[in-house]
Amino acid sequence: MKRNILTRLPGLASLRVYWNVLCIVFKGSRQAKHGRYDVHDWSRSSLETKLALERAGVEFEITGREHFRDLEGPCVFIGNHMSTLETFVLPCLIAEYKDTTFVVKQSLVDYPVFRYMMRSRDPITVGRENPRDDLRAVLDGGTDRLQRGMSIVVFPQTTRSEVFNPAEFNSIGVKLAKKAGVPVVPIALKTDAWANGRFLRDFGRIDPSKKVHIAFGEPLRITGRGDEEHRKIVEFIVTNLKEWGAAL
Residue type, 196: N
Rounded Cα gap, residues 246 and 209, in angstroms: 14
Rounded Cα gap, residues 90 and 74, in angstroms: 16
Q: What residue ranges in the chain does DSSP mark as E strands?
A: 60-63, 76-79, 100-105, 124-126, 151-154, 184-190, 212-216
Packing angle of the helix pair 227-243, 172-180 (nearest 10 deg): 130
Coil, strand, or helix at residue 165?
A: coil
Which pTM does this prediction carry?
0.92
Mean pLDDT for the stretch of residues 51-55: 97
Q: Which of 201, 206, 204 is nearest to 107 (CA)?
A: 201
Provide the residue ranges of all domains of the chain, joining segments of one domain with +: 2-243
pLDDT at 1: 43
pLDDT digits (tens, 9 = 90+) for 21-36: 999 999 999 999 999 9
Q: Which of 190, 215, 191, 193 is nearest to 62 (CA)?
A: 215
CATH topology of domain 2-243: Glycerol-3-phosphate (1)-acyltransferase (3.40.1130)
Q: How deeply is 148 buried, as exposed, middle or buried, from its count of CB atoms within 10 A (0-12, 13-18, 19+)?
A: exposed
pLDDT digits (tens, 9 = 90+) for 171-219: 999 999 999 999 999 999 999 999 987 767 677 899 999 999 999 999 9
